[in-house]
A and B are shown apart, each in its own frame.
Chain A
Amino acid sequence: MDSMGSLKIPTMGWHVLTALILIGLVWGLAAVTNRINYQWTWYRLPEYFVFQSEEVRFAPGDGKVESLERLGDQVRLILVLDNGARESLTISHASLELDEGERVRAGDPLGAESIMRQGLLVKGMVTTLHLSLLSGLLAMAIGLLGGLARISKNPTLYALSTGYIEVVRGTPLLVQLFIFYFFIGTVLELSRYTAGLLALAIFSGAYVAEIIRAGIQSIHRGQMEAARSLGMNYFQAMAYIILPQAVKRVLPALAGQFISLIKDSSLVSVIAITDLAKAGREIITNTFATFEIWFTVAALYFVLTFSLSLLTKTLERRMTAGD
């Protein structure tokens, strides 16, 4: 008991110190922003996640209001059209301009329906997630082929893959995006989304290829020899023996690469894809809440990258448990 108590106090002390440092940082930040007289408008943010949209509904055809049923501040309206079809709508009571039994004609406004819509930040985050996921999958495929080509004895495969990796790693992603959007996108008539997706995949694929190559080369050559001596061909040996071990070994590096990909995807905002970063910029032009938005955007990127980080940790643990 005694020894546990004496151990606990210093640990607690360190935690208190950590908390004090963090509080100090926040306090310092607040003090500095106070000096420049910045108006914090955090209350404007929630509507950019989800918002209530009042959308006016119109009668789809001539008919009659059969019934109105009050549900709090909403009303369920049942419309029977002259052709016998029944329409059911829920609209806000305040916007209701009809009585039971009243006739309506096609195109008449019935009232406003209140709908929950995704705000720009959520839309941007979904775009970023979608873009990262697709380009990540594509990058993995490119990386596997590229990694295999890099260790190939075939001079053409080796030269092409090495050239690809050197060029992609030696030029800025921003420039690659412009080339993909303005040149390749124009020549092949790609949408801006496809152009951005391909640029990210090809950029990330080069790094994945090097990771995969390093992984394959880290596996003892006796593994390949044993597989071949059993009559497996090169691709069977790769697929069943070498790659499973190699990928497992480079999983942390691959995870790092995909986390980078999520962050790098913010660059597609320069070709006007409304990802999370572009959404942030658009909101700022409306609200001038520059500080709040960039903090929030950073936090949302962190949510994505940290989830991926946790996911790979679980995966790693499960793969080691299989040994």
Chain B
Amino acid sequence: MIEVRDLNKTFTLRGEKIHAVDGVSCTVSAGEVVVVIGPSGSGKSTFLRCLNRLEDFESGQVIVDGHNLSHEKTNLNRVRAEVGMVFQSFNLFPHKSVLQNLTLAQVKVRKRSRRDAHEKALMLLKKVGISEKAGAYPDQLSGGQQQRVAIARALAMDPKVMLFDEPTSALDPEMVGEVLDVMRTLAQEGMTMVIVSHEMGFAREVADRMLMMDAGRILEEGPPNQFFSNPEHERTQAFLAQIL
């Protein structure tokens, strides 16, 4: 579903050149759930944002569902419609109601009729457990509710892949669970997911594969059982020891 070959991304921060993603290669097959962990500044968010080219990269190939994102001719908007993204800070549209947040792109990008978009939106709001908030505006919702709306908004496009960029990091602790529940259901339904997260319990339970990133490189990868109980690298051991 996703194939990444020798991906490189640098940027300059206060005059200093930073190699945020340094020659990363990996594949994610359909239906797989991959959780990416790593210390802050390890490039895991940048890596994730390269997967729908929200972040431009210098070199390498990213191929999503057969479309090569590095090709000039690839219609990025069309690929992005197939790749749902959930952000740390939700990024709901504050001037639109919850329902409009879910229907806008369906109508404008997917060219669905208002009626179909509306139906789909209500179905998804029910699925994430907040159908009663359809008419509310984002700032009337709690963080957990906002993030569930954001997930529903991404799902409304019927994406083939879902990317999650630290979806629970901005939430109050008691709201983390409700968002993880929605993600767990999604994983069980066979959605292809790439998740950047610090929720280790959730990762252990849901992930098919763990990726550990450090200094822009993939340091270690493997199934969660082996990854958590018997990590190869010292850096991984140290990192897990810190957060577990």
Contact = CB atoms under 8 A, between A and B. Distances in A.
Interface of A: 220, 222-223, 225-233, 236, 240-241, 244-245, 248, 322-323
A225 B86 CA distance: 10
8 contacts: A225-B87, A226-B87, A229-B85, A230-B157, A231-B81, A231-B157, A232-B109, A245-B95
Nearest to B85: A229
A323 B139 contact: yes
Interface string B108-130: 11100000000000000000000
B188 interface: no
A229 B83 contact: yes
Contacts of A225: 54, 85, 87, 91
Contacts of B89: 220, 222
B77 interface: yes
Contacts of A248: 95
A154 to B, nearest CB: 16
Contacts of B137: 323
B80 A230 contact: yes
Given A240-B104, A240-B108, A231 B91 contact: no
A226 B83 contact: no
Nearest to B54: A225
Contact of B154 (A227, A230, A322): A230
Contacts of A231: 77-78, 80-82, 105, 109-110, 157
Contacts of A245: 94-95
Nearest to B92: A226
B104 A229 contact: no
B157 A226 contact: no
Contacts of B82: 231
A166 B83 CA distance: 42
A245 B92 CA distance: 12
Q: Which 9 A-B pairs have the closest CB atoms?
A: A231-B81, A226-B91, A230-B105, A222-B91, A229-B85, A231-B109, A231-B80, A231-B77, A233-B77
Contact of A230 (B95, B139, B153): B153
Contacts of A227: 93, 105
Nearest to A244: B95
Contacts of B108: 232, 236, 240
Contact of B94 (A229, A240, A323): A323
B145 interface: no
Contacts of B91: 220, 222-223, 225-226
A225 B137 CA distance: 20
A228 B157 CA distance: 13
Given A231-B109, A236-B109, A323-B137, A226 B93 contact: yes
B25 to A, nearest CB: 23
Nearest to A241: B93
Contact of A232 (B54, B77, B94, B154): B77
A222 B87 CA distance: 8
Contacts of A241: 93
A323 B140 CA distance: 9
Contacts of B157: 230-231
Nearest to A223: B91
B52 interface: yes
Contacts of B104: 230, 240
Contacts of A220: 89, 91
Nearest to B101: A226
Contacts of B85: 225-226, 229
A322 B93 CA distance: 13
Contacts of A322: 95
A227 B54 CA distance: 11
A228 B52 CA distance: 10
A229 B78 contact: no
Which interface residue of A222, A229, A244, A322 has the most chain B CB atoms within 10 A? A229
Contacts of B93: 223, 226-227, 241
A230 B109 contact: yes
Contacts of B52: 229
B167 to A, nearest CB: 13
Contacts of B94: 245, 323
Nearest to B80: A231
B114 to A, nearest CB: 14
A236 B106 CA distance: 13
Given A223-B93, A240-B104, A230 B81 contact: yes
